[in-house]
Amino acid sequence: MYEPRQIHIGKVIRDAVVSNPQNWGKGALNTDALLQVVARLFDLLRERKIDYVLVGGIALLNYVEGRNTEDIDLIMALSALEKLPEIKITNRDNDFARGQFGELQIDILLTQNALFEKIQRECVAIQHFHEQDIPTATVEGLLLLKLYALPSLYRLGNFAKVGIYENDIATLMQAYHPAREPLFAELARHLNDTDLAELRTIMAEIEQRIARFGKKRKQ
């Protein structure tokens, strides 16, 4: 199992921005300022007693070795978001909002969505990061979010994200072996039968990959 280490969120995001070729032609980037921007964001969340949960790539890094990520993903209520006028909303629908906090992009999963609300309420643990202790989605919470997103990603033809999400699911499943039936029982409340059946097929394929990997390690 992955040995957790204290993640420096600011450095993770800064390094991802620096290593992304898409950012190289944008002129001088004050990447070191991202360290202060990230720290200030979490200070504001604490000072204003905002109820939130860290999810996404940064949360994933707390459990497994993961990929780079240039943004921060949070679950929170719309009423909580309204207490943070410093976050400039650039896009919003019923379930999601995207905002800019200085040079930092923030993706917000709104608790108007019943699954997101349940994860904020029941699938959260305080984890230790360099910046401060942060309420973070559990392994089960992250798996629910990844699985929930897959059917939409398939319909959109976003196969780059499909590959990333399926790899994240496989990595979490291989490291922690959570029971899958409780996950599907919860997802059944939020997805139609067709999407749920497709997710069961995807999960079976992932478990086959994990089994093959285990066999090869023993050889």
Written as six digits, the tokens of 81 are 């978001």
For residue 48, give both structure tokens: 């204003």
Question: Helices marked H in the chain — which ranges?
Answer: 9-19, 33-47, 56-61, 78-81, 114-122, 139-156, 159-176, 180-187, 193-218
**Count of CB atoms situated within 10 Å of the CB of 46:** 14
Kind plus residue range of the DSSP H or E element containing 125: strand 124-128
**Using 50, 70 and 90 to split pLDDT, how confident is the model at 214?**
confident
Compute the distance between CA of residue 91 and CA of residue 136 in angstroms, rounded to an integer: 24
Domain ranges of the chain: 9-137, 141-218
Fold classification of 9-137 is: Beta Polymerase; domain 2 (3.30.460)
Sheet holding 104-110, edge to edge: 88-92, 96-101, 104-110, 71-76, 52-55, 133-137, 124-128
pTM over 0.75: yes
| Non-local CB neighbours of 43 within 8 Å, separated by 6+ positions | 132
Candidates 211, 201, 65, 199; CA nearest to 144 is: 199
Interval 119-178: pLDDT, tens: 999 999 999 999 999 999 999 999 999 999 999 999 999 999 999 999 999 999 999 999
Considering only CA atoms, which of 101, 83, 14 is closest in space to residue 46? 83
